[in-house]
Each structure stands twice: as structure tokens, then as C-alpha cells.
Amino acid sequence: MLFDHVSPAALDVTGTHELTNREEKPMKEVVLRDLFERYIAALNSHDFEHLSEFMHDDMIVNGQPMTREQMVTVLEGHVEAVPDLIWRPQDLAIDGDRVAARFFNKGTPVKEWLGSPPSGATVEYVEHVFHKIRDGRFIEQNFLLDALAIQQQLNACR
């Protein structure tokens, strides 16, 4: 068949399946976008008590098992080292139960952070984060940040 790589629903000339997808997909996207925006607001206000509400008790973070408490402790450690740290999402993509974001983050370390001592410099760096959501909470998180850019910015002020 000429369109064997296309799902049968895409070939539905009645439009009923496509209309159903249009109605369902945006609603789920709205819910996931709202969840993510509330999470970022709690993160940026350093509201660690409420951050745990967005996470399952047991998660997978960068391929490793981690409890909710451990994840919150990691985030608290970042903010302890960089008290003015702010996560600024620039791009957001939602696909099914997954949310991907590209951030441009900014902060001034006052303690050793990511292996570099503080220098008084404010650093800006890119971070990519991928969340998998189950039952309205993060069950999996994978992130990659530009630690080299952070180190270079801190070392440039020495």
C-alpha cells in the first residue's frame, strides 16, 4: 500500500478520528503544561515543601532510582550553592505523557557547585530536561546541563 507507513486513523476521510484527537490532545497538553508551569514556579520560588507534590515517591533520574526526598535534597543543594538560581524555560514540547524543555538558567554560586568554587561570577547555562509523567506526577526525569560552560564562566573571573 502506498501509505503503509501512515496510521489508518490518518487516512480516515470522515474526519471523526482526527477531530477526536484534536479535542483530546490539547486538553492533555493543557493539563501537562499547567503541571510543568506550577512545578517551575515552585522551583523558582525555592518552595521545596511543595516541590515534592510533583514527584512520585520513587523515580528514575538519569537512569538511576531515586526517591522523592533524594530529588528534593538534590534541588535544595543546588539552591544552597546558588541562592539566586532561576530556571527559565525557553522551549517546551509535550508528547503524550512526556514533557521536554530547554532552559536558560542563571545564578551566582556562593559555594562550590558542580565541582567549581565560587568566583563571584553570575553564570548562565543551558539545560535540557525530559520528564515522564504518570498519574499527574513526575515518574522519570532525564537532564543534561552545560557544566563546562559553568566552569568556564566561573574560571574566567579568577
pLDDT tens, residue order, the chain (158 aa): 333 343 444 444 444 444 444 444 555 899 999 999 999 999 999 999 999 999 999 999 999 999 999 999 999 999 999 999 999 999 999 999 999 999 999 999 999 998 888 999 999 999 999 999 999 999 999 999 988 888 888 887 76
- Long-range (24+ apart) CB contacts under 8 A made by 57-60 are 59/138, 59/139, 59/140, 59/141, 60/139, 60/140, 60/141
Query: Cell numbers of 71, please?
Result: 530529588
Residues contacting residue 83 through CB under 8 Å, at least 6 positions apart: 107, 108, 110
Global pTM reads: 0.78
Give the helix ranges, DSSP H, for 3-130: 16-44, 48-51, 68-81
Element housing 137 (H / E): strand 137-145
Let me know: does 145 contact 125? Beta carbons within 8 Å. yes
Element housing 148 (H / E): helix 147-156
The CATH number of 8-156 is 3.10.450.50
Domains of the chain: which residue ranges?
8-156
